[in-house]
A and B are shown apart, each in its own frame.
Chain A
Amino acid sequence: MAAFQEKPLGFFTDTSICIGCKACEVACKEWNQLEGNAPKFTADSFDNTGQLDAQNWRHVQFVEQVPDNTGLIPTPTPIAGGQAWLMMSDVCKHCKEASCLEVCPTNAIMRTEFDTVFIQSDVCNGCRNCISACPYGVIGFDEQKGVAQKCTLCYDRLQIGMQPACAKACPTESIKFGYVDDLHQVADQRLAALQQAGYKKAQLYGRDTKVYGGLNAFFLLMDKPEVYSLPNEANATLPSRNNLPGYVGGVATAVIGLIAGLVAFRNGRMNGNGPNNTRPHA
């Protein structure tokens, strides 16, 4: 198989045609030899995976905005007459400006020749700083291996010209794989078609540079990003934004603290204050 060119590769996940079959989750686990977490009976959702983590590198989210027992819709979404059952196969976004990569102290997280974000498991020491930084809750800590894990965009498959396992398995082609530039065009056409059909809330997420400089794994959503637990533009911020205020606050406090200490140690003594000031002053 022809190897891929060294150009940005990624996913375009079109949530409007996801049927929630979880074939992507299964294919990912099979290829990447992920055992999965112990099954949990949630009883209130079709989502029994729960979240992205060390064992779940694809997670089919179910946004179940269907009427509850009283017939009320907790958070109505007017895409289907006020009722909606949204599904999204979530994954690492392979951000162009990646929060995880920014903070990783060991350089275990690197950018590949395909512009994807990859954790080198032999370099990672399990400090979990990346978990604290990823705004999408993508990375999980593998207790057995003692390292952080997430979607690799099937880096091993890419290197031999094979597409990622999830995209290959997806029966509806909700997950499309390819060069990011090409995927952008496909996404634009699909969005235009949906909007013409009356789905006014349909929108692309991560297609442009407003969210983390653009996402190599971007989405077509049927509602606001927040509905899918994705931060909106205003909240898509890099951890490093807090370096300056953090250190400025620290330095200001240090200066005030040192002055306060000096005042306490020198001033009172020079004034001859104190409970036991019988000896000559310094």
Chain B
Amino acid sequence: MTGAEHFAAPPEWQWWILGYFFFGGLAGGSYALGTLLRFGGDPRDELAARIAFIASFIALIPCPIFLTVDLGQPLRFWHMLLDTGPDGGLAFKPWSPMSLGSWALLAFGLFSFVSFVGALAEGGQLRAASGLARALRGGAGLAWNAIGTVLGLFICAYTGVLLAVSNQAVWSDAAWALGGMFLASALAGATALLLFLGRSRRDVDADTAYRLEVADRYFVLLEALLIAIFLVTVAVAGTIAKVLGVWIVLWLVVLLGLAAPFLSARARTWPPLAAPLLALLGVLALRALVIFSAQT
């Protein structure tokens, strides 16, 4: 079997896009975790759920800023949504992940914001919105969070699909793996972020923290599996050399991030914030090497 041929030019997506992929993943992953904790856990997990919803929205704030700054014409950011050409109407192309992602980001922003306000109200920091907090508790809340979670997980994954829907080496060779790999790493990253915040605050239920550590290890295993699929697919396409070489350094950071939750669980002498920080660094490194290696 001969490898894939690529003659496409690099789009020069650099640091802003890396920042978006990182924070977008944390925002979507945190939202999903908040939902799982609120509706899948028990009342003791509620504080962690609230932290997750708050973290989700705060992580989301830089996303549209980074995306806008990255444009050649930042003031035309709204052209992603409205067609300013002769046809007019909405600029909505479901087969273009960038188009679909722009709409998803807008919709997820709404869900994340409402859940953020609800979480603040629930925690007593925004009493004016206590009605909203009550509304988000029952069946309506479950529906709201379920839709928000679907959107959040979409934000985690579509960035990988966006890279794959191209003719670039590596990206277009790893279509089966990229979306899932970014999603799994976003879930692992969001769990690490929640553990980091929980351990910094010291008021999250110890049992909740334990469950989060267990979930973290599951997510990391899933991520490792998808990284393996990614490497196999680019090897089959004959483009694996692009992600090796100098990029080995970043792979080591990724590996350390994957290993950190397991190593820290075995040797409880680790400083409490070390493992989550290493995991977050690994999430960043994974995205950096996928984005940059294909374009060099």
A146 to chain B: which residues have CB within 8 Å? 71-73
Contact B7 A120 (CB under 8 A): no
A110-B72 contact given A128-B12, A235-B5, A249-B177, CB 8 Å threshold = no
Residues of B within 8 A of A261 (CB): 32-33, 36, 40, 187, 215, 218-219
Closest residue to B210 on the A side, CB-wise? A274
Is the C-beta of B200 less than 8 angstroms from some C-beta in chain A? no
- A133-162 toward B: CB 8 Å interface, digit per residue (1/0)? 111111111110111100000000000000
| B45 contacts partner chain A, Cβ-Cβ < 8 Å | yes
Contacts of B55-78 to chain A: CB distance below 8 A: 70-74, 76-77
Q: Is there an interface contact between B13 and A128, defined as CB atoms closer than 8 Å?
A: yes
Flag if B7 contacts A275 (CB, 8 Å): no
Tell me the B8-44 residues at the A interface (CB within 8 Å). 8-13, 32-33, 36-37, 40-44
A246 near B184: Cβ-Cβ < 8 Å: no
Interface size grouping (class) on chain B: 35 or more
> Total A-B pairs in contact (CB under 8 Å)?
258
Contact A122 B84 (CB under 8 A): yes
The answer to whether A123 and B84 have CB atoms under 8 Å apart is yes
Given A239-B166, A253-B157, A264-B214, check contact A229 B37 (CB 8 Å). Answer: no
Docked-complex contact B167 and A132, CB < 8 angstroms: yes
**Provided the pairs A107-B83, A133-B166 are in contact, do residues A147 and B8 lie with their beta carbons within 8 angstroms?**
no
**Shortest beta-carbon distance from A263 to chain B in Å:** 7
Contact: A125 with B79, CB < 8 Å?
A: yes
Whether A229 lies near B7 (C-beta < 8 A) is yes
A229 to B9, CA, bound (A): 12
Of B95, B214, B222, chain A has the most CB atoms within 10 Å of the CB of B214
| Docked-complex contact B165 and A103, CB < 8 angstroms | yes
Segment among B121-129, B168-176, B246-254, B273-281 that sits at the interface with chain A: B168-176
Are B207 and A239 neighbours in the complex by a CB distance under 8 Å?
no
Structural contact, A254 and B153, CB atoms closer than 8 A: yes
Residue of A nearest to B179 (CB): A250
List of B residues within 8 angstroms of A124 by Cβ: 72-73, 76, 79
With A103-B96, A250-B161 known as contacts, the answer to whether A274 contacts B211 (CB < 8 A) is yes
Interchain CB contact (< 8 A) of B12 among A134, A141, A266: A141
* Complex Cα spacing A253 to B206, Å: 28
Which residue of chain B lies nearest to A99 when distances are taken between CB atoms in the complex? B167
B165, A243: Cβ atoms closer than 8 Å: yes
What residues of chain B lie closer than 8 Å to A53, measured between beta carbons? 9
Main secondary structure of the interface of B (DSSP, over half): helix
Tell me if B72 and A141 are in contact (CB < 8 A).
yes
**B102 within 8 Å of A by Cβ?**
yes
Contact (Cβ within 8 A) A110 B85: yes
Query: Within 8 Å CB of A74, what residues of B?
Result: none
Asked if A104 is at the interface (CB within 8 A of a chain B CB), the reply is: yes
Known A261-B40, A265-B37: A106·B71 in contact at CB below 8 Å: no
* B203 proximal to A (CB < 8 A): no
Q: Output the least CB separation between B240 and chain A (Å).
A: 17
Question: Is the beta-carbon distance between A249 and B165 smaller than 8 angstroms?
Answer: no
Chain B residues contacting A264 (CB-CB under 8 Å) are 211-212, 214-215, 218
Check A42 for interface membership: any CB of B closer than 8 A: no
Query: When the two chains form their complex, are residues B222 and A230 in contact, meaning their CB atoms are under 8 A apart?
Result: no
Q: Which residues of A contact B86 (CB under 8 A)?
A: 110
* Residue of chain B at shortest CB distance from A238: B167
Asked whether, in the complex, the Cβ of B42 is within 8 Å of the Cβ of A103, the reply is no
Check if A279 is an interface residue, CB within 8 A of chain B: yes
CB proximity of A243 to chain B, nearest CB, Å: 6
Decide if A128 touches B161 in the complex (CB within 8 Å). no
Question: Nearest B residue to A120 by beta-carbon distance?
Answer: B85
- CA of A207 to CA of B13, assembled, Å: 34
**Residue B80 at the A interface, CB < 8 A?**
yes
Top 7 A-B pairs ranked by shortest CB distance?
Answer: A126-B72, A282-B42, A146-B72, A253-B180, A246-B161, A250-B157, A250-B179
Q: Can you give 10 contacting A-B residue pairs, CB < 8 Å?
A: A105-B91, A127-B98, A128-B11, A132-B8, A147-B73, A235-B5, A250-B183, A261-B187, A265-B215, A282-B43
Q: Which residues of B contact A (CB under 8 A)?
A: 4-13, 32-33, 36-37, 40-45, 70-74, 76-77, 79-80, 83-87, 91, 93, 95-99, 102, 149, 153-154, 157-158, 160-168, 171-172, 175-181, 183-184, 187, 205-207, 210-212, 214-215, 218-219, 222, 226
